[in-house]
Amino acid sequence: MTRAKFKCVSVTKREGWSGHKFVYSAEFHPVTGGSPENAVFYAATPGGKIELSTTTVDHFDVGKEYYIDFTECETVKADS
């Protein structure tokens, strides 16, 4: 597992599709400072961005920081 720490920099709400009333999109950038822990994360992840969307509810708050864990998963082959 690899852990990253990102800050939510924007949340947008727009009309949905396929029966979903709204779509919420959140954009995250790596933390750059503000604490000794953030300095450690910044040294390992100095750039990039992540954008996530959900059709249920806005799960993220602008200005808050979040841990994001990357865990490799086993590849499952589709049935032929």
Sequential pLDDT tens for the chain (80 residues) = 999 999 999 999 888 777 768 888 999 999 999 999 999 999 988 889 999 988 877 789 999 999 999 999 998 888 75
Residues contacting 18, CB < 8 A, separation 6+: none
**What's the pLDDT score for residue 80?**
59
Question: Strand order of the sheet with strand 50-54?
Answer: 50-54, 22-30, 2-15, 65-70
**What's the pLDDT score for residue 23?**
87
Note the maximum CA span of the chain. 51
**What's the pLDDT score for residue 9?**
97
